[in-house]
């Protein structure tokens, strides 16, 4: 669960940075003879709205995962559950699906004594999703999911930038080894941490396509005070193929974030993956109550606000995605 804290970090400017560590889009798409981003370009080239998937975490809880247990372990102990969730989203029309690896970095896994198993857990997750995507046979994309490190970067916190890059590079290497089509960095609040994650990804794959979404849950900003405009400027400068928002307080707030991003940048590919409404705390668990029809209407509004990739975050299910797909791609 996310802590609701407002931390005021100095705004991070996209410049200056080492261009060798953050190659631009054109340069990257030439890397590996264009192979690394070919499948991504194929999916977005249609010009039609692209459906992402819905929640993984809340689906795992619904299947018996206990609060506090690391979801990534289920890639090994309950692969049929993880595959079944992926299959539900594929059947609902998802074209970009995320691996069950949100907390699969060594810092978060170390809370459970699993820091030595980053490669195994991430690579297995990629293989599970790949096998479902291939079985469905509709050319959907496998996105390697990278969530926050779990620590706050210095100087606000204690995690050194260089160590953060190493942590993300280790996870990205395992996802790439597992055969993902792209990397999706998500639920980020701190621009400096995003920068470290992108640098980590680029260290292991200069060419792979990259989606980055941040969580705008604090008066239109991230918990660390990043505005939608700052996010778009920085993430595109660092070479993200698509940027946007995920998680947060439900679609109404995210639609406004998408609008502001579109106003700030007319060209960037925008992504919206909202929670199923504002979370309500029931028995110390977050509950999300927006129904499929509500999320379908919200998906259409996201689309009209400028998002070309639309999906769901906490509380969304294959039923939500199916309703969203049929309205958005109608
Ligand atoms: Zn969420």
> Backbone phi, then psi, for 308, in 5-degree steps?
-100, -15
pLDDT category, 5, cuts 50, 70, 90?
A: very low
* pLDDT, mean of residues 138-162: 96
pTM for the model stands at 0.94
Q: What separation in Å is there between the alpha carbon of 100 and the centre of ligand 1?
A: 13
The predicted-structure confidence for 230-286, as pLDDT tens digits, reads as follows: 999 999 999 999 999 999 999 999 999 999 999 999 999 999 999 999 989 998 888
Residue 243, strand partner residues: 212, 270
> For residues 92 and 217, what is the distance between their CA atoms, to the nearest angstrom?
27
> For residues 319 and 88, what is the distance between their CA atoms, to the nearest angstrom?
8
Q: What separation in Å is there between the alpha carbon of 36 and the centre of ligand 1?
A: 28
Q: What separation in Å is there between the alpha carbon of 114 and the centre of ligand 1?
A: 23
Q: What separation in Å is there between the alpha carbon of 186 and the centre of ligand 1?
A: 9
Quick one: pLDDT at residue 194?
A: 98
Q: What separation in Å is there between the alpha carbon of 150 and the centre of ligand 1?
A: 15
Peptide bond into 88 cis (omega under 30): no
Q: Is the pLDDT of residue 40 over 50?
A: yes
CATH of 26-328, one of 3.30.565.10, 3.40.50.620, 3.20.20.330, 3.30.450.40: 3.20.20.330
Quick one: pLDDT at residue 15?
A: 57
Is 86 in contact with 129 (CB distance < 8 Å)? yes
pLDDT category, 9, cuts 50, 70, 90?
A: very low
For the ranges 12-16, 61-65, 117-121, 234-238, the lowest mean pLDDT is seen at 12-16
Q: What separation in Å is there between the alpha carbon of 31 and the centre of ligand 1?
A: 33
How far apart are the two ends of the chain, measured CA to CA in Å?
A: 35
Q: Is the pLDDT of residue 6 over 60?
A: no
Q: What separation in Å is there between the alpha carbon of 61 and the centre of ligand 1?
A: 13
DSSP letter assigned to residue 145: E
Quick one: pLDDT at residue 16?
A: 64
Quick one: pLDDT at residue 7?
A: 47
Kind of pairing between the strands at 285-287 and 280-282: antiparallel
Q: What separation in Å is there between the alpha carbon of 273 and the centre of ligand 1?
A: 8
Is 37 in contact with 28 (CB distance < 8 Å)? yes
Q: Measure the CA dihedral 59/314/287/307, to 10°.
A: -140
Quick one: pLDDT at residue 130?
A: 98
Residue with tokens 């055969």: 179
Q: What separation in Å is there between the alpha carbon of 247 and the centre of ligand 1?
A: 3
For the chain, give the percent of residues with pLDDT over 70.
95
Q: What separation in Å is there between the alpha carbon of 16 and the centre of ligand 1?
A: 32
Q: Is the pLDDT of residue 1 over 80?
A: no
* pLDDT, mean of residues 20-42: 85
Q: What separation in Å is there between the alpha carbon of 34 and the centre of ligand 1?
A: 32
Residue with tokens 């210095």: 154
* pLDDT, mean of residues 115-124: 98
Higher per-residue confidence, 1 vs 156: 156
Q: Is the pLDDT of residue 211 over 80?
A: yes
Please work out, in degrees rounded to the nearest 5, the angle formed at the alpha carbon of residue 164 by the alpha carbons of 205 and 265: 65
Helices (H) and strands (E) in the chain, counts: 13, 10
Distance of CA 313 to the CA centre of its chain: 9
Q: Count the neighbouring beta carbons within 10 Å of the beta carbon of residue 281.
A: 9
Q: What separation in Å is there between the alpha carbon of 321 and the centre of ligand 1?
A: 14
pLDDT category, 13, cuts 50, 70, 90?
A: low
Please work out, in degrees rounded to the nearest 5, the angle formed at the alpha carbon of residue 45 by the alpha carbons of 263 and 305: 25
Minimal CA–CA distance to 56: which of 113, 132, 120, 4? 132
Q: What separation in Å is there between the alpha carbon of 274 and the centre of ligand 1?
A: 7
pLDDT category, 33, cuts 50, 70, 90?
A: confident
Q: Where are the domains of the chain?
A: 26-328
* pLDDT, mean of residues 140-160: 97
Residue with tokens 């998408």: 258
* pLDDT, mean of residues 33-41: 87
Give alpha helix (H) positions in the chain.
25-30, 35-44, 57-62, 74-77, 79-91, 106-109, 118-136, 161-177, 191-204, 228-237, 251-264, 292-305, 318-328
Distance of CA 137 to the CA centre of its chain: 23
* pLDDT, mean of residues 296-319: 98
């Amino acid at each position: 669960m996310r802590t609701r804290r407002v931390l005021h970090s100095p705004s991070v400017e996209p410049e200056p940075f080492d261009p060798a560590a953050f190659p631009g889009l054109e340069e990257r798409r030439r890397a590996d003879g264009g192979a690394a981003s070919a499948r991504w370009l194929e999916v977005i080239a249609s010009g039609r709205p692209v459906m992402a998937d819905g929640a993984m975490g809340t689906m795992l809880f619904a299947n018996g995962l206990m609060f506090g247990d690391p979801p990534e372990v289920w890639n090994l102990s309950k692969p049929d559950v993880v595959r079944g969730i992926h299959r539900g989203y594929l059947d609902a029309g998802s074209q970009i699906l995320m691996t069950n690896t949100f907390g699969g970095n060594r810092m978060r896994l170390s809370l459970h004594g699993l820091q030595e198993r980053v490669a195994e857990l991430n690579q297995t997750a990629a293989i599970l999703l790949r096998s479902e995507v291939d079985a469905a046979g509709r050319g959907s994309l496998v996105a390697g999911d990278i969530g926050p490190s779990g620590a706050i970067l210095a100087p606000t916190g204690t995690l050194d930038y260089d160590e953060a890059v190493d942590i993300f590079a280790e996870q990205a290497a395992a996802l790439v080894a597992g055969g993902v089509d792209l990397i999706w960095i998500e639920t980020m609040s701190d621009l400096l941490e995003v920068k470290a994650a992108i640098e980590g990804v680029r260290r292991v794959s200069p060419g792979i396509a990259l989606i980055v979404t941040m969580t705008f849950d604090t008066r239109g900003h991230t918990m660390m005070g990043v505005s939608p405009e700052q996010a778009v400027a920085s993430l595109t400068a660092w070479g993200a193929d698509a940027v946007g928002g995920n998680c947060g307080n439900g679609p109404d707030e995210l639609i406004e974030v998408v609008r502001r991003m579109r106003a700030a940048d007319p060209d960037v590919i925008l992504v919206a993956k909202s929670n199923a409404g504002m979370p309500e705390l029931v028995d110390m668990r977050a509950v999300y109550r927006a129904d499929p029809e509500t999320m379908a209407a919200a998906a259409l509004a996201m689309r009209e606000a400028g998002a070309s990739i639309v999906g769901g975050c906490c509380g969304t299910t294959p039923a939500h995605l199916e309703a969203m797909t049929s309205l958005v791609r109608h």
